[in-house]
Structure 1
Amino acid sequence: MRCVILDDYQGAALALADWSGLEGVEVSAVREHLDDEDALVAAVGAAEILVVMRERTPLPASVLARLPRLRLVVTSGMRNASIDVAAAGERGVVVCGTASRPTPPVELTWALLLGLARHVVPEATALRAGGPWQSTLGRDLAGSTLTLVGLGKIGTRVAAVARAFGMDVVAWSPHLTAERADAAGVRLAPSLVAALAEGDFVSLHLVLSDSTRGLLGPDELAAMRDTAYLVNTSRAGLVDTAALVAALEAGRIAGAGLDVYDVEPLPASDRLRSLPTVLGTPHLGYVTEGNYRTYFTEAVEDIAAWLAGEPVRLLT
């Protein structure tokens, strides 16, 4: 029996879990991203088991139909919108997942926010190149306002860090209640526009759905201060990317810290790569050693359970 691990960019999958206990299973990993369906099908071949990393490689019905021997798909995390779970079920393919720690994206949110506030990248680049010594003025976090769009597991942890910095925190989400906001020590904004208008920094922490897709469009971005920074470590689809680029180019907001994009890997010619007011990272929010150990260790557990006919962590 064959197991293929896709999108192992760092070559870490085989080292961060013990795959040797899967007797009779030949495990291999593919490091390069395969965005061509024919190349993907060729790489997977006759494998019965597929391990995928988040939403890096979609598995639509058209791909699943070309993998007749596939019987099990394991994804990192318990949510993966890029897998057609219904189509998999129709073909008798079990789709299951793993735990995912909420702290890594919280930490990256603050890396981006601090990087923007203190102009870390341009100053560090100038230092390395022998450029001017101190050319920017940093923004103070203490006393400023952080707007959180979404106050779930990740947003609540971001709020706790903000309070430690001495920031005022205001939050909004479609179903956020005053009781939940109070419990997190933040103020509840009456509307999304009101929340955006208050923020010196705005950070997004919502699940992408039909109701939240494009939540921040031209009007919402126009509600932000021209001195405000937007940070998105959640999902690119929450923001109208064309409207964001236009706002950044026109200086209608001060900058953006982005870890998620409409197309990943981000094309080399994409404008977001060259805008001077964008601090971009290549979807690193969940990419930590601890998270990877969890993903691949539990992937091995899922495969072992499936082989033994025991229950697995099913996606729905």
Structure 2
Amino acid sequence: MKILLVGEAANHRNQLANWLEIPCEILTVPFPADGDVSFAALADTVDVVVSLRIPHLAQPARQFRLLQVPGAGLDGINFTSLPETAWVCNVFEHEIPIAEYVLMAMIHWATGFDAMRQAFSFDNWATAYRQRIPHQEIAGKTLGLLGLGHIGKAIAKRARAFGMRIVAVQRSSVDLEGPTDAVLPLDRLHEMLQQSDFLVIACPLTEETRGIIGKAELEAMPNSSVLINVSRAEIVQERPLYDALLARRIAGAYLDVWYRYPIGENPNAKPSSMHFDRLPNVVCTPHSSAWTDGIFERRYRFIAGNITRLHNGKPLENVVRMPNRERLSR
């Protein structure tokens, strides 16, 4: 088996090699596939491509058998550039650190931790002690979840342990296993927004969800509510979010995902057209909520397993697109 690791995936060659159970040749190209004219030719020399992004190609790749996306999101994949005979699979494992990030953000906001720390004074201890300001608790607060997939359920499970009330919105309003108080269909989004102390964006970016949170949705939220985005920036409209935060129509935000990234033809891109980082009620982080040492071990163990299954003719896991069977039979 011949494997091509593209872009960030190239950094994990050794982790993949450690988990592989079959002899493989691993090639690495430490640039993103975006815009690289040689990508199709290179991809046609291997059996498996591991990449978060596949650009639009004038001539689609023809040969490789599996595109293994080393993450959950598929919005960076141009499916028309793939061989019709290729399987496409993704991998999760990011729900654990993302859920921890969300709980950290909610506790950080409710406790006013930064102000609490700044209020401490060794030299003026008596004053600091006597002038303590009561802070909030997240117990009893309502968590609104836009999306109840792997990430949403992991967040809900942990939030339940802190005594939060949980209301989710997803396309299907059925949730037989998740620890939620209510699951609403998408057409009742505003009902969920109106009662959310914290709103967490946890759904995938699709044509249906792109820009689904705009001016009207932000105005439906309580003025005291906090938005936390750990999915894709484009789910929330950029300018309305900035204006709502600037005017304090919502209390604050934790933003870990961005509207532009320094990849492909724009290596010096800014994260947004507006300076969210200059707003005192916004915490900005560089798409780091899932960037832990544990996630890469878990993901590349899974990827190695899928490559082994492909080699042995066994069913693949986390299949998001099956091959065109008519092409396979030719």
- The bucket for the TM-score relative to the shorter chain is 0.7 to 0.9
Q: Residue 5 of structure 1: SS of its match in structure 2?
A: strand
| 2:7/2:33 contact within 8 Å kept | no
Cα deviations by residue, 1:119-171 (Å, 9 ceiling, x for unpaired):
446766999xxxxx899874321232222223344333323333332333333
Q: What is the TM-score with the length of structure 1 in the denominator?
A: 0.76
Following TM superposition, by how much is the alpha carbon of 1:83 offset from its aligned partner in structure 2, in angstroms? 1.7
| 2:54/2:77 contact within 8 Å kept | yes
1:253 & 1:160 partners in 2: Cα distance? 25
Pick one of 158, 161, 165 that aligns with 2:158: 161
| 1:305/1:312 contact within 8 Å kept | yes
Cα deviations by residue, 1:144-201 (Å, 9 ceiling, x for unpaired):
2222223344333323333332333333334314xx3896341456932222121221
2:158 & 2:75 partners in 1: Cα distance? 29
Distance change (3 Å), C-alpha of 1:208 and 1:38 = closer
Unaligned runs of 5+ in 1: 128-132
Distance change (3 Å), C-alpha of 1:141 and 1:99 = closer
Letter in 2 for 1:240: Q
Q: Residue 37 of structure 1: SS of its match in structure 2?
A: coil
1:22 & 1:173 partners in 2: Cα distance? 40
2:257 & 2:310 partners in 1: Cα distance? 32
Distance change (3 Å), C-alpha of 1:9 and 1:122 = farther
Following TM superposition, by how much is the alpha carbon of 1:247 offset from its aligned partner in structure 2, in angstroms? 0.8
Letter in 2 for 1:223: A
Partner of 2:179: 184
Q: Residue 206 of structure 1: SS of its match in structure 2?
A: coil
Q: Residue 54 of structure 2: SS of its match in structure 1?
A: coil
Letter in 2 for 1:34: P
Matched-pair identity in %: 28
Q: What is the TM-score with the length of structure 2 in the denominator?
A: 0.73
CA RMSD in angstroms, aligned pairs only: 3.8
Pick one of 261, 280, 283 that aligns with 2:284: 280
Unaligned runs of 5+ in 2: 121-127, 263-267, 322-330
1:185 & 1:312 partners in 2: Cα distance? 31
2:8 & 2:118 partners in 1: Cα distance? 29
Pick one of 54, 61, 65 that aligns with 1:59: 54
Q: Residue 38 of structure 1: SS of its match in structure 2?
A: coil
Q: Residue 143 of structure 1: SS of its match in structure 2?
A: coil
| 1:76/1:100 contact within 8 Å kept | no
Tell which structure's C-alpha radius of gyration is larger.
2
Task: Note if 1:114 corresponds to 2:107.
Answer: yes
Partner of 1:6: 6
Q: Residue 215 of structure 1: SS of its match in structure 2?
A: coil
Partner of 2:326: none
Alignment of 1:141-290 (within 5 A): 141-177=138-174, 180=175, 184-187=179-182, 191-265=188-262, 267-268=269-270, 270=272, 271-290=275-294
1:302 & 1:182 partners in 2: Cα distance? 27
Letter in 2 for 1:102: E
Distance change (3 Å), C-alpha of 1:302 and 1:184 = closer
Following TM superposition, by how much is the alpha carbon of 1:26 offset from its aligned partner in structure 2, in angstroms? 3.5
Following TM superposition, by how much is the alpha carbon of 1:297 offset from its aligned partner in structure 2, in angstroms? 2.0
Letter in 1 for 2:35: E
Aligned residue-pair number: 301
| 2:226/2:253 contact within 8 Å kept | yes
